[in-house]
Amino acid sequence: MKSNLLLLHTITRIVSFIILSFSIFLFFAGHNNPGGGFIGGLMTASALLLLYVSFDIKTIKRVLPFNYAHIIAIGLLLAILTGLNSLLFGDPFLTQYFEYYDLPILGETELTTALPFDLGIYLVVVAVALLIILTIAEDDS
């Protein structure tokens, strides 16, 4: 089925980037405003899904050559490692640290270990959503 979907493709190109940026915004905003790893992850997944829907699966697979199962593993590992990190300092599992730094470009910024933890969640959520939907979509039988 090769039909002309120019309108869809063009809009997708723009919209998916907007959604992606919005999802990243949600992800980073999580600590102080509504948002966070879970919602950000779902948003990213929906942006990617939009790509999958408007183009076909094969194309996107070529563009985004990720194995989502690996991404799940990486995300989980990241979250667990963040938790283990606190053990090194003699604190209970999953103790989070934060500190305010003056970074060159961003100015005064709060860096927290909750961020990599959230990143782990984010990766897992993205990968889970995509993996489920793609697996079902690719199922021929």
Partner 1 sequence: MAIFVPFFYKWFRHIHTGWFVLVLPLLLFIYLLQFLPVGGSMETLELTVPWVPSLGINFTIYLDGLSLLFALLITGIGTLVVLYSIYYIANKKDEPLNNFYVYLLMFMGAMLGVVLSDNLIVIYVFWELTSLASSLLIAYWFHKEKSRYGAQKSMLITVTGGFAMLAGFSLLYVMADQTFSIRAIIDQADIIAQSPLFIPAMLLILLGAFTKSAQFPFHIWLPDAMEAPTPVSAYLHSATMVKAGIYLAARLTPVFAGAPEWFWLLTGFGLMTLIWGSISAVRQTDLKAILAFSTISQLGLIMSLLGIGSAAVHYDYAEVEMLYTTAILAAVFHLINHATFKGSLFMVVGIVDHETGTRDIRRLGGLMTIMPITFTISLIGVASMAGLPPFNGFLSKEMFFTGVVNATTLDIFNVQTFWYLLPVIAWVASVFTFVYCMIMFFRTFTGTYKPEKLEKKAHEAPMGMLISPIILASLVVIFGLFPNLLAYTIIEPTMQSILPNVLEEGERFYVNIYHWHGLNTELFMTAGVILFGMLVFLNLKRWQEAKFFLKERDPLNAVYDRGLDGLVTGSQRVTNLQMTGLLRDYFVFMMVFLVAMLGWTMIRYNAVVFDFVNVSEISPYLWIITFVLIAATISIPFIQHRITAIIAIGVIGFLLALLFVVFRAPDLALTQLLVETVLVVLLLLAFYHLPELRKAKFTAKFSLPNLIVSIGVGLVVTLTAFSAHAMNHEFGFDRISSYFVENSVPLAGGYNMVNVILVDFRGLDTLLEVLVLAIAALGVVTLIKHKMKGGEDV
Mark 108-140 as b/e (b = at least 16 C-beta within 10 Å).
eeeeebbbebbbbbbbbbbbbbbbeebeeeeee
Q: Is 44 in the site for partner 1 (CB under 8 A)?
A: no
Nearby residues of 52 by Cβ (< 8 Å), 6 or more positions away: 60, 133, 134, 137
Judged by CB under 8 A, the residue of 22, 28, 46, 50 near partner 1 is 46
Stretch that binds partner 1, among 4-12, 57-65, 72-80, 101-109 (CB under 8 A): 72-80
Write out the two tokens for 112.
Answer: 């927290």
Using the 8-state DSSP alphabet, how is residue 64 labeled?
S
**Which of residues 10 and 18 has its CB atom nearest to partner 1 in the complex?**
18
Question: Which range, of 2-10, 12-20, 37-45, 58-66, touches partner 1 by CB under 8 A?
Answer: 37-45
Site for partner 1, rule CB under 8 A: 26, 29-39, 42-43, 46, 68-69, 72, 75-76, 79-80, 83, 93-94, 96, 98, 100, 110, 112, 114, 117-118, 120-121, 124-125, 127-129, 131-133, 135-136, 139, 141
